[in-house]
């Protein structure tokens, strides 16, 4: 059976001119894209990469917005609970403290890392990567930080924490009076900004810019 790479005439091309689909592993010649275009796998249709406008500037704006939302999202009250004449205000940080104080130190550590520590570390990595591209300094460190960011992506679980909060609100609604706090609004906003950032911050263009292949990733 002939080698698919040989059959497609790709064996003599440099590796930089080839791209493999992350979904079906199909090997293809890398296409040069114009602004706003995206490359898709010819076998399964998966989006391989895109060339978006002003990637660095737009991503920097979103990272800064996320960092500004981080403190109120974690330290302002998510909800106020009134039960039998007693009221309490809960924040993400107070939830971690409560778990620690009740002897569940390991659970408190996991919640802290997944809801506060790792999301903040991801944002800092993204900020430093984007600044290294924007100011054209320390790109070798930028490459290292971007690799670290990709390893951390699966560990930041803001959406899981949000689902837990929403489930708790629904279950407690019949037992107590619940008032949604500003912290929940900031937390949802932080989650949406991070999702938007994942879309805008095109990995293909960031990798190219960090390796010096494309000095116009911000165009």
Could you report the per-residue pLDDT of 149-201, keeping only the tens digit for each? 988 877 766 666 666 666 666 666 566 566 777 888 888 899 889 889 988 88
Q: At residue 218, does pLDDT exceed 90?
A: no
Contact 149, 129 (CB under 8 A): yes
Alpha helix locations (H) across the chain? Answer: 4-7, 55-75, 92-101, 105-112, 118-134, 139-152, 158-172, 182-200, 203-211
Q: How far is the CA of 179 from the CAs of 92, 184, 204, in angstroms?
A: 16, 10, 43
Among 50, 65, 81, residue at a domain's last position: 50
Q: At residue 64, does pLDDT exceed 90?
A: yes
61 occurs within a structural domain: yes
Do residues 152 and 203 both lie within one domain? yes
Do residues 72 and 180 both lie within one domain? yes
Do residues 65 and 98 both lie within one domain? yes
Question: In 3-state terms, what secondary structure has residue 180?
Answer: strand
Q: Which residue has the higher pLDDT, 21 or 172?
A: 21
CA geometry: angle at 49 spanning 137 and 209, to 5°?
10
Contact 104, 95 (CB under 8 A): no
Among 50, 67, 86, residue at a domain's last position: 50
Classify residue 43 as left (phi > 0), alpha (psi -120 to 50) or beta: alpha
Of 166, 131, 128, which is closest to residue 145 (Cα–Cα)?
A: 128
Q: How far is the CA of 8 from the CAs of 13, 21, 192, in angstroms?
A: 11, 15, 42
**Confidence at 93, pLDDT banded by 50, 70, 90:** confident
Do residues 59 and 158 both lie within one domain? yes
Do residues 46 and 59 both lie within one domain? no
Number of domains in the chain: 2
Residue located via tokens 């079906």: 24
Comparing 50-54, 60-64, 140-144, which segment has the lowest mean pLDDT? 50-54
218 occurs within a structural domain: no
216 occurs within a structural domain: no
pLDDT the model gives residue 10: 54
pLDDT the model gives residue 6: 42
Do residues 173 and 189 both lie within one domain? yes
**Residue 35 lies in domain:** 4-50
Do residues 24 and 116 both lie within one domain? no
The percent of residues in the chain predicted with pLDDT above 70, rounded, is 65
Beta pairing, strands 177-180 & 86-90: unpaired
pLDDT the model gives residue 1: 31
Do residues 125 and 37 both lie within one domain? no
217 occurs within a structural domain: no
Mean pLDDT of the chain: 76
Backbone angles phi and psi of 51, in degrees to 5: -115, 100
Task: Read off the tokens for 125.
Answer: 């990595």
Comparing 29-38, 128-137, 199-208, which segment has the lowest mean pLDDT? 29-38
Do residues 34 and 118 both lie within one domain? no
Do residues 62 and 130 both lie within one domain? yes
121 occurs within a structural domain: yes
Do residues 77 and 91 both lie within one domain? yes
15-19, 153-157, 181-185, 210-214: which is most confident: 181-185
Q: How far apart are CA 198 and CA 38, in angstroms?
A: 16
Q: At residue 12, does pLDDT exceed 80?
A: no
Q: At residue 83, does pLDDT exceed 90?
A: no
**Mean pLDDT on 34-45:** 69
Helices 203-211 + 139-152 axis angle, to 10: 150
pLDDT the model gives residue 187: 87
Do residues 128 and 45 both lie within one domain? no
Among 14, 29, 50, residue at a domain's last position: 50
Q: How far apart are CA 45 and CA 138, in angstroms?
A: 36
């Amino acid at each position: 059976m002939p080698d698919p790479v040989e059959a497609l005439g790709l064996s003599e091309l440099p590796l930089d001119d080839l791209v493999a689909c992350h979904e079906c592993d199909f090997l293809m010649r890398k296409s040069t894209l114009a602004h706003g275009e995206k490359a898709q796998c010819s076998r399964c249709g998966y989006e391989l990469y895109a060339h978006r406008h002003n990637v660095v500037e737009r991503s920097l704006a979103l990272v800064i917005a996320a960092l500004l939302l981080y403190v109120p999202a974690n330290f302002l009250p998510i909800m106020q609970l009134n039960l039998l004449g007693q009221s309490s205000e809960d924040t993400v940080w107070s939830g971690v403290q409560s778990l620690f104080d009740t002897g569940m130190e390991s659970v408190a550590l996991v919640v802290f890392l997944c809801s506060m520590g790792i999301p903040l570390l991801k944002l800092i990595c993204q900020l430093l990567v984007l600044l290294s591209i924007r100011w054209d300094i320390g790109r070798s460190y930028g490459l290292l930080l971007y690799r670290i960011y990709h390893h951390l992506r699966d560990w930041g679980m803001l959406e899981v924490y949000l689902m837990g909060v929403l489930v708790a609100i629904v279950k407690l609604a019949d037992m107590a009076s619940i008032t949604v706090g500003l912290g929940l609004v900031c937390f949802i906003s932080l989650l949406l900004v991070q999702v938007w950032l994942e879309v805008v911050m095109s990995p293909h263009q960031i990798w190219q810019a960090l390796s010096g292949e494309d000095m116009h990733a911000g165009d």
